């Protein structure tokens, strides 16, 4: 194997083992089981998501993380207000979002990110280039917000992006 795939294997084993230690502690009796679990998780992860040539851009990751945190707080407060105050209307429905990322793992990861934002849930494909998004208020600028998220997400991996 080339350096890239070996690096990916080492990083994944280390990450899974670190997760094991965080969850269970550093008890000597558990460390061997943790190493076996980390190796098994790495093997599965390599089968499901093989190493790629692309690299994550740290500055883009920081921008995405900050925006995601901000959007999560703002949207979470909005959802809580709507849930607790019966005077605030819920205008639930579906919007079609023309996704700019090409089909594949990056688009799937972006769709997963969308599902973590309060008030929006990807509900399926409208067409090969568009997603159906369920949202709590169809009168909010949902597609504009998702386009901004997608642009930051595309910059993270250097992916081509059609909604720019």
pLDDT in tens, 69-82: 888 888 888 888 87
E strand or H helix at 91: none
In the chain, what percentage of residues exceed pLDDT 70?
Answer: 91
Compare 143 and 78 and report the one with higher pLDDT: 143
Whole-angstrom distance, CA of residue 119 vs CA of residue 138: 10
| Predicted confidence (pLDDT) at residue 160 exceeds the cutoff of 70 | no
Q: What is the pLDDT of residue 103?
A: 85
| pTM score above 0.75 | no
Average of per-residue pLDDT across 134-163: 82
Q: Which residues neighbour 137 within 8 Å (Cβ) at sequence distance 6 or greater?
A: 82, 89, 90, 91, 92, 119
Q: 2: pLDDT confidence band, cut at 50, 70 and 90?
A: very low
Q: What is the pLDDT of residue 16?
A: 93
Residue at token pair 């008890």: 27
Whole-angstrom distance, CA of residue 40 vs CA of residue 133: 35
Q: Distances in Å between the alpha carbon of 144 and those of 38, 115, 139, 163?
A: 40, 16, 12, 10
Q: What is the pLDDT of residue 164?
A: 44
Q: 18: pLDDT confidence band, cut at 50, 70 and 90?
A: very high
Whole-angstrom distance, CA of residue 14 vs CA of residue 16: 6
| Predicted confidence (pLDDT) at residue 141 exceeds the cutoff of 90 | no
């Amino acid at each position: 194997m080339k350096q890239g795939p070996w690096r990916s294997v080492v990083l994944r084993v280390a990450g899974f083992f670190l997760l094991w230690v965080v969850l269970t502690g550093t008890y000597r009796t558990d460390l061997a089981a943790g190493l076996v679990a980390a190796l098994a998780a790495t093997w599965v992860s390599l089968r499901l998501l093989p190493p790629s040539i692309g690299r994550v851009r740290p500055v883009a990751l920081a921008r995405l993380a900050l925006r995601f945190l901000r959007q999560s707080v703002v949207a979470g407060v909005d959802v809580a207000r709507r849930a607790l105050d019966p005077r605030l209307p819920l205008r639930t429905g579906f919007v079609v979002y023309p996704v700019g990322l090409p089909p594949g793992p990056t688009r799937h990861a972006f769709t997963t990110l969308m599902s973590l934002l309060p008030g929006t849930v990807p509900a399926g494909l409208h067409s090969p280039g568009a997603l159906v998004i369920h949202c709590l208020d169809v009168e909010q600028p949902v597609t504009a917000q998702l386009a901004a998220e997608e642009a930051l997400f595309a910059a993270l991996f250097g992916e081509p992006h059609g909604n720019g």
